[in-house]
Structure 1
Amino acid sequence: MNLTRLVYYSQRNPSEKLDTQTLIETCQTNNARQNLTGILHYNGDHFLQVLEGGRVEVSALYHRISRDSRHANIILLSCADVRERMFSKWSMGLHQGMDERTREIYLRYFSTDNVNPETVNVDSLLDVLQDIAIEMAPSR
């Protein structure tokens, strides 16, 4: 089975209700059953998500997400076979908001924290999400 990583960006549809706690709990339950992992960064207006797993499962999930009315203007940034997972610890990790620490992470890789997904390097976005994931990890 090929391991695939997909990255997408979308705007939140403000006319649709969004309960992020229920959303992430549902994602975690469903993804765990299909051995999918990843991270979702939601800043209040936009979603940036990474999905990892089998090619068929990742593709099916992305198509389901693309039909979800909570998303608008979805942009597929990358979809490729990979050798290993970046976000293997979560069936789906959630990071919300754009606090000062998150702003600092963005500014480490970009000239602004207002990132245009059409003009940035996907590898840099993945670096941002990995750094955010490190921040999310529980202290030992």
Structure 2
Amino acid sequence: MLVRLLYASRAAQPLSPEMIEGILAQSRAHNPEQGITGILCYSGDIFMQVLEGGRDAVCELYNLIVRDERHRNVRLLSFEEIRERRFASWTMGQVNLAKINPSFMLKYAEKAELDPFCVSGAASMALLDDLIATASVLGRAS
């Protein structure tokens, strides 16, 4: 059974390109063997990530993330059973929202900044869908 999990967290340390690349490299190395695909968005100190795959694999990975010292204030935004993946093209795609026009964010939030803690999970998923549609997602295909 396939599931999709969306969560948000805050970085425990200031984000650096090395930290982001470390997270992405770890995801790209381990996710394929677990059948997990997804996308990671980040801006300021906020992470928002979607994980897709088998229920057990996704839940186990989420539990690891909750205990990961790089994250704090981990919040589950959405969890659903799905018939097909939205993010099947990426072992872990990425979006640096600092490179996106801030007005793009106003479509989904009160302010032109990423704050998934203050919007619904549905609004966050709609934002991710738009980022895919506008080819804002970077990363290696799975």
TM range (shorter): 0.7 to 0.9
SS in 1 for 2:35: coil
| Identity of matched residues, % | 35
Residue 127 of structure 1 corresponds to which residue in structure 2?
126
User: 1:110, 1:97 → 2: CA distance?
Assistant: 14
Aligned length: 136
Residue 52 of structure 2 corresponds to which residue in structure 1?
52
Which residue identity lines up with residue 105 of structure 2 in the other structure?
Y
Q: What per-residue deviation string (whole Å, max 9, x for no partner) do you get for residues 75-131 of structure 1?
A: 111111011111110011111242342x23211222322354344121111111122
More displaced 10-residue stretch of structure 1: 109-118 or 29-38: 109-118
User: 2:112, 2:100 → 1: CA distance?
Assistant: 10
Query: Aligned pair in 2 of structure 1 residues 60, 100: CA closer, same or farther (>3 Å)?
Result: closer
User: 2:28, 2:115 → 1: CA distance?
Assistant: 28
Q: How does 1:2-81 map to 2 (within 5 A)?
A: 2-14=1-13, 19-81=19-81
SS in 2 for 1:136: coil
User: 2:15, 2:109 → 1: CA distance?
Assistant: 31
Check whether the contact 1:8–1:50 (CA below 8 A) recurs between aligned residues: yes
Q: Give TM-score scaled by structure 2 length.
A: 0.85
Deviation for aligned residue 1:54 = 0.2
SS in 2 for 1:109: coil
Indicate the RMSD between aligned Cα atoms, in angstroms: 2.2
Segments ≥4 residues shifted beyond 4 Å: 15-18
User: Tell me, which stretches of 5 or more residues in structure 1 are unaligned?
Assistant: none
Query: Aligned pair in 2 of structure 1 residues 19, 59: CA closer, same or farther (>3 Å)?
Result: same
